């Protein structure tokens, strides 16, 4: 029987002082997926990741990683997951090769099975293999964090805000590597990010947590389909005197001279919007439609859960 990559049941964490960071979360991450874990600051994402990594002790609940119960088989569950943290926590006196070798040793990877050179090549640090970490740029250090997360050949890779504050070149390199790990090795990727367009482009499935509770989990396509808001953008052939005034349709000028007609597809059809525009005496030169994006879904769900 194939186990999910991650199975979380009733996960709670109460910190000293009484703050409840996680309130009985149930979450399942399918094997081989690129899974987005989203939520505003303070929602509980970092607490959940640290529990998965074995860095924070949960208050209650059950955590399985690749079928290994974290309480029953802690070594196997920890060996199944690699975490690229948001913080640049590198020893400045290690070289990239030395850092990878030490990390592999900590996980008990035999020398014959270590792939330090292959990892250095993948993250683009072959020419910096013997440079001290303190001499590396911020982007290079972030690449090295990715390499350290991969030394023990984990089945699950967690990327915690991996592209926060990095340049476009590094971001593209990172996503290229993530796709390769997912497609070639079948590695499950769990991504947290504040760049919602990244999650929309990269993730097969997304979970959104807010105030320590799971408020949504579904495929990216289904989440985007939850909002039926549409916008039809009309480019008029000439400047009209009046905008359409019809129930269910909100028309407004945009700075580029187009007219944005917002409506709900469950109440108004596209034909009705076109009829309303023509009924206002507007001749249409061009038309296009816009749908809700992940940011709209995210704001709707987190606002309703506040």
CA-based nearest residue to 178, from 169, 188, 168: 188
Bridge partners for 261 per DSSP: 232, 251
Q: For 137-182, write each residue's pLDDT tens digit.
A: 888 998 999 999 999 999 999 999 888 777 788 888 889 999 999 9
> What domains, with CATH codes, occur in the chain?
6-224 (3.40.50.300), 226-292 (3.30.70)
> 251-292, pLDDT tens digit by residue?
999 999 999 998 887 789 999 999 999 999 999 999 998 876
Nearest 5 degrees, angle CA 208-CA 262-CA 224?
25
Nearest to 263 by CA among 223, 234, 302: 234
Asked if residue 33 has pLDDT above 70, the reply is yes
The predicted structure's pLDDT at residue 306:
53
CA 186 to chain centre: 18
Q: What own/partner pairs with CB < 8 Å and gap ≥ 24 does 92-95 have?
A: 92/132, 92/133, 92/134, 93/132, 93/133, 93/134, 94/132, 94/133, 95/129, 95/130, 95/131, 95/132, 95/133
Q: Tokens 């597809």 identify what position? A: 265
Whether the per-residue pLDDT at 200 is higher than 70: the answer is: yes
pLDDT for 193 beyond 70: yes
pLDDT band at 61 (very low <50, low <70, confident <90, very high): very high
Which pTM value belongs to this model?
Answer: 0.78
Distance (Å, rounded) from C-alpha 78 to C-alpha 46? 17
């Amino acid at each position: 029987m194939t186990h999910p990559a991650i199975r979380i049941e009733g996960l709670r964490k109460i910190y000293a002082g009484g703050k409840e960071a996680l309130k009985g979360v149930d979450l399942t991450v399918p094997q081989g997926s690129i899974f987005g874990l989203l939520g505003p600051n303070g929602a509980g994402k970092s607490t959940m990741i640290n529990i998965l990594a074995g860095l924070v002790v949960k208050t209650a609940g059950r955590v399985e990683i690749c079928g290994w119960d974290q309480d029953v088989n802690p070594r196997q569950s920890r060996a199944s997951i690699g975490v690229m943290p948001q913080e640049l926590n590198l020893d400045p006196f290690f070289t990239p090769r030395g850092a990878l070798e030490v990390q592999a040793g900590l996980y008990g990877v035999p020398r014959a099975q270590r792939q330090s050179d292959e990892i250095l090549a993948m993250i683009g640090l072959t020419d910096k293999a013997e440079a001290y970490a303190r001499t590396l740029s911020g982007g290079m250090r972030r690449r090295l964090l990715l390499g350290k997360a991969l030394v023990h050949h984990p089945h699950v890779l967690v990327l915690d805000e991996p592209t926060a504050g990095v340049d476009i070149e590094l971001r593209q390199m990172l996503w290229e590597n993530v796709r390769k790990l997912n497609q070639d090795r079948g590695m499950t990727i769990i991504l947290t990010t504040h760049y919602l367009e990244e999650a929309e482009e990269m993730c097969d499935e997304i979970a959104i947590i807010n105030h320590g509770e799971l408020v949504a989990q579904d495929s990216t396509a289904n989440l985007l389909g939850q909002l039926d808001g549409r916008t039809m953008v009309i480019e008029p052939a000439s400047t009209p005197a009046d905008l359409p005034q019809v129930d269910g349709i909100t028309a407004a000028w945009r700075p580029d001279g187009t007219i944005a007609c917002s409506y709900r597809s469950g109440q108004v059809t596209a034909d009705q919007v076109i009829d309303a525009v023509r009924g206002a005496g507007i001749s249409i030169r061009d038309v296009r439609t816009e749908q809700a994006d992940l940011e709209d879904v995210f704001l709707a769900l987190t606002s309703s859960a506040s």
